[in-house]
Structure 1
């Protein structure tokens, strides 16, 4: 949908309809993306619940197998962010036919990245599980599930690329609906394979891993089928072999490298919080798991808003429209800030009640509830920083968000969390304070960078 020419005035009377337009587009784009990201979490939660009800031991296998997979997967997904951004830019430039080339490059990259991830994880994952001090039975059980999980990486990488391309086209709906359909496939398979039904042997964590793999194959086939059957697929260049464009190829990879590195830094730093909690004992690990799970659910909304912001900013950047770039960013930041404030005010008084929903253990609740209440200070800056990072990447500033995440989460959060939790004796509260401080630092730096660039001509 093109912006009406009548709204091109630089006066506030002309800008006000444009703000409303950007707001409606942001919400239209972000809603389905939020549903899609929640679908990803739901698939993992479904597997954990089914396997856990079958066997606590098998749940341990499943959780340990998924841990290294999630780190590799999150980093790999970041590598495909260039598909989303470059597609939106091409639309903004009025070159819809060029988006097919972005997709074809992305699919080629995703196959190679997926295969490389599968091979590296299959070769190093078992050794890692056996080297971190686990009992042999626990490491062996997790390894069996891990090897099945690795098989899903290439097909899932392809589905992510397809989804990002559609999101760049402002068509996020199909990705969300297919993700939830994949959840139904996963539910059916895990109920069939994990506990063993209809005469099949119980497979536990391995069965859940096969269910996830089957669901991801379904998702990939559905996404590619939808794209190939789109009426405008040929006009978008999906079936046309593009001419070699080394500059565009390099830019698409460059955006992916920055996002992939950022994802790795964030995942690694938050994984280190689990280790620090582990040094304080099993009770602290359980309490921190509650805080982190709630934070992850909250994070899905700004993650969706970040996609909407990237598409709007990317289109405006491609059209070489500085005012539209700045306006799209401002609208996205305003909506994100409002969400962060409202969700914090909602969770803060309900922290103890929410903790009761996760466990009946009084000691765990006593530790988790105050930490969750304190974490409400994190939701506002954490939401803004992820949206600002994507908005910066969409306007061509790829590496500053990566350096900011490195400094904030690796350079500040990790040592601060250890110092506050262990030497200072603040325990879980110390870890939470470190996350809050790092989130504010990242937020201020990224918003400041966007504001600085907004004073320059594109």
Structure 2
């Protein structure tokens, strides 16, 4: 067994390695959310009603998409561990298996969402007209799942190799396309005959299609792709495929639980009022945008933890996780302070409706309290998965976000009349609980000896 030639990232560790990898990964994740930010702002300034349609459609689509991307998390973890074990030459096979897996997942998710998304919205009996207006938006979003799911398999693989920057550049070029198409289509009067939230969904499809093509070109043109086996048919290795899927099942379970719980907040907002839906749409959009910072840091942290775990270097593994937690804490405290200081500025960027602006400003002040806890819990979960601890993060998310947050949000936001502020208090409690449990779990496991490395699954040299 040997490593493909010249893979300097295999031994990379320390704060410098974390920052070097994290910076483009964070920029890439911010690029993902920038698409949603542009969609929300352009649609919101076009029509408050369309903003509600967009938010409700995304509430369902987001659950499906994040669950699908969780299923692909094994591509990144197995690639990182293989590099740490000195088997970078095997990573092309991991990518090829991941792309085939991604295609099946994408088609299944798009078909399910296109057929069942509308009836799901209707079943929640929200304010009149909301489900009917959101359904065509959701159907277009379903089509756009296919390119983004396949593209992200390639993006995860590149990041595990420390090649995050090319993917980041492609992501921001896709953002330019998304903005241009949004500005063309959303106001209406175009040749396609669409406007509002539906038009914005088509802009998302166009930008995601571009991203898929760009990432394919980046991987194919990489001079090390051949050495890593990208152009070689992956060997028939059920054990390796199962290991990749197993990591994905755990991540997908967590992502599904979290996204379902947060989507339930949108349903609760729909039970409150149409204004509450619009306010919640902005709250979750801003929170998701900020979440991309710790999410990117968690990816970088998990790559380094996975490499250290593959090399069975416990000291490097603990140091990488500790630095990830520390850097996340510093950055999110700064971000939270910024949001707390300028809530009115944020609100006015999203809407022209005075009632919506007032609700957004109040909610932004309160939301600044959960950003840090939410960030630390995702770093903890990703670090645990990188060291092959799969079940506990999912179980922790189930308890925190389903058992605790959802009933608490219903009670504080709907039953007790607390409105959107009540929903946010529930998120604060659940995120803090999750962060404490996951970080404690990583510290506990860090005191135990690491198991011996697994036998190589394939004979590639």
What TM-score comes out, normalization by structure 1 length? 0.89
Cα distance in 2 for partners of 1:409, 1:391 equals: 19
Spell out the pairing of 1:227-306 with structure 2 (5 A cutoff). 227-306=219-298
Aligned residues: 443
Residue equivalent to 1:220 = 212
Alignment partner of 2:178 out of 183, 186, 196: 186
Spell out the pairing of 1:118-267 with structure 2 (5 A cutoff). 118-133=110-125, 139=131, 141-195=133-187, 200-204=191-195, 205-267=197-259
Alignment partner of 2:364 out of 366, 372, 381: 372
Cα distance in 1 for partners of 2:43, 2:261 equals: 28
1:104 aligns with 2:103: no
8 Å CA contact retained: 1:75, 1:264: yes
Gap runs ≥5 in structure 2: 1-6, 451-461
Residues 344-353 or 372-381, more deviating: 344-353
Spell out the pairing of 1:430-445 with structure 2 (5 A cutoff). 430-445=422-437
Pick closer, same or farther for the CA change 1:315–1:417 going to 2, 3 Å: same
1:39 aligns with 2:39: no
Cα distance in 2 for partners of 1:442, 1:367 equals: 27
Cα distance in 1 for partners of 2:14, 2:43 equals: 44
Specify the SS of the correspondent of 1:238: coil
Cα distance in 1 for partners of 2:111, 2:275 equals: 36
Alignment partner of 1:73 out of 43, 65, 84: 65
1:394 aligns with 2:401: no
1:405 aligns with 2:406: no
Residues 156-165 or 118-127, more deviating: 118-127
What TM-score comes out, normalization by structure 2 length? 0.88
Specify the SS of the correspondent of 2:342: helix
Residues 163-172 or 151-160, more deviating: 151-160
Structure 1 vs Structure 2 CA RMSD: 2.6
Residue equivalent to 2:3 = none
Shift of 1:196: 5.2
Shift of 1:211: 2.6
Pick closer, same or farther for the CA change 1:273–1:339 going to 2, 3 Å: same
Pick closer, same or farther for the CA change 1:392–1:215 going to 2, 3 Å: same
Cα distance in 2 for partners of 1:389, 1:34 equals: 17
Cα distance in 2 for partners of 1:433, 1:50 equals: 29
Specify the SS of the correspondent of 1:152: helix
Specify the SS of the correspondent of 2:369: helix
Pick closer, same or farther for the CA change 1:121–1:438 going to 2, 3 Å: same
Alignment partner of 1:320 out of 307, 312, 316: 312
Cα distance in 1 for partners of 2:152, 2:402 equals: 27
Shift of 1:32: 1.2
Residue equivalent to 1:15 = none
Pick closer, same or farther for the CA change 1:226–1:444 going to 2, 3 Å: same
Cα distance in 2 for partners of 1:53, 1:364 equals: 12
Alignment partner of 1:330 out of 322, 329, 332: 322
Gap runs ≥5 in structure 1: 6-17
